[in-house]
Structure 1
Amino acid sequence: MMARLNLMPWREQCRARAVRRFQALLIVTLAVALCGVTWLDQMARSRLARQALIVASHQAELERLDTTLRQVDQLRGRREALQAEHAAVSALGAGRSQMPGLFLALEQALPEGARLTEVDVEAGRLRLGGLAASASVVARFMRDLEQVGMVRDLELVHLRRHLQGDEFLLAARLLAGES
């Protein structure tokens, strides 16, 4: 008779070796996966940190540019204010340089028997007030004033009779460049 061999322990050992091999392979796989995940996490964190630095540098640059832009806007405002002041001063200077010509023209046009009590120049408008011996003297003054060529649209605002003479008020527009 043949002796029967009991293969149970051998099979048990093979199964135990296979389980240990599987467990070792599982542990190695888990360790490699953990290393891979840790490496990917580290890469993502470093990339995120680099992006945060880039964003911070861009924000600092934007703040610097905003500050510069505000300064440029302030300088533009100052320049516009200075240009407006310069234009006003130039206009006053031009008007002042034209005033002697205006007074000379008024002196030439003013007839005997009339005198001026008010001369007002504002925004290109001329107002003349005064006393005249008669209405004909005022009419001659208006004709002479138009002939001098310093004014246009000359009109008599009012003419009133007083004991000292006829009080008159004339209004006209100065020709361009005379204000």
Structure 2
Amino acid sequence: MTIEINLLPWREEQRARRSKRFYVALGLAAVLGLGGGYGMTWHYEQSTSAQQQRNSLIQTQSRQLDSAIREISELEAIREQMLEQVRIFTELQVGRTQTVHVMRDLTASLVDGVHYVQLNRQGAALRLAGSAENNRQVSDQLRALAAAATFTEPVLSEVEAEGGGERRRFSLGMNQQMPQAGLEGDEESPLVEEES
């Protein structure tokens, strides 16, 4: 006796199961692929968004720094203007008593027998013309002016006899020395107060 086994329905069922598993696996792969694609897209969008926020923050900070730099530049320009004004005020404050110093030192250094005839001042340069009874008095006058703190070393430009006698007419040039700001002694302060 021969047993005949019909495997056709079993194979059909197996093929249906395999087909079902294949479609399930295909569906799972599609779901995983779509999910992975969506996840990657979301990740890149989040990364792009975060980078854009960082870029925006950097641009904002850069604009603030540019504004601060402009403000600092303006403040430095104002500072330079103020320093220039302070320098000018200091020069004026120091220089306002210079005429008094010049006259004081001219009279204090005047040697007996010497008379000043003319005084010209142009900036710090002084030109002085005078007359003396003899050459020795002219030399003494030059030494006295050189010893004064207000003047530089005087330079004698001419000496000539006046009226055929021993009397001498002379002219000389020198520069006025400006004292350094803040270095004037306490003796100068009464002059400043008197002029105010």
Aligned residue for 1:17?
A: 17
| Structure 2 counterparts to residues 63-142 of structure 1, below 5 A | 63-111=63-111, 112-122=114-124, 126-133=125-132, 136=135, 137-142=137-142
* Deviates further, 48-57 or 133-142: 133-142
Structure 1 residue identity aligned to 2:174: A
Q: Which amino acid aligns with 2:173?
A: L
Structure 1 CA distance, aligned partners of 2:161 and 2:17? 140
TM (norm. structure 1) is 0.78
Note the residue ranges of structure 1 that are not aligned, 5 or more in a row.
Answer: none
Q: CA deviation at 1:60?
A: 0.8
Match of 1:42 in 2: 42
Aligned to 2:171: 168
Contact 2:116 2:128 (C-alpha < 8 Å) held by counterparts? no
Distance in 2, Cα, partners of 1:75 & 1:138:
57
Distance 2:134 2:56 in 1: 85
Percent identity between the aligned chains? 20
Q: What CA deviation, in whole Å up to 9, does each residue of 1:106-135 have, x standing for no partner?
A: 13334533323312443xxx4333243577
Q: Per-residue CA shift, 1:73-128, capped at 9, x if unaligned?
A: 22112212211221122112211123212212113334533323312443xxx433
SS at match of 1:151: coil
Between Structure 1 and Structure 2, how many residues are aligned? 174
SS in 2 for 1:174: coil
Q: CA RMSD in A?
A: 2.9
Distance 2:22 2:134 in 1: 131
Partner of 1:158: 157
Give the distance between the partners of 1:162 and 1:40, measured in 2 at CA.
111
Q: What letter matches 2:77 in structure 1? A: G
Deviation at 1:149, TM superposition (A): 3.7
The two structures have a TM-score, normalised by structure 2, of 0.72
* Separation in 2, partners of 1:21, 1:134: 139
Q: Deviations over 1:40-87 (max 9, x none)?
A: 321331232123123202311221122112111221122122112211
* Alpha-carbon separation, structure 1, partners of 2:147 and 2:119: 22
The answer to which structure has the higher strand fraction is 1
Task: Spell out, residue by residue over 1:138-161, the C-alpha distance to the aligned partner (whole angstroms, 9 max, x if none).
Answer: 323212223444334x13252154
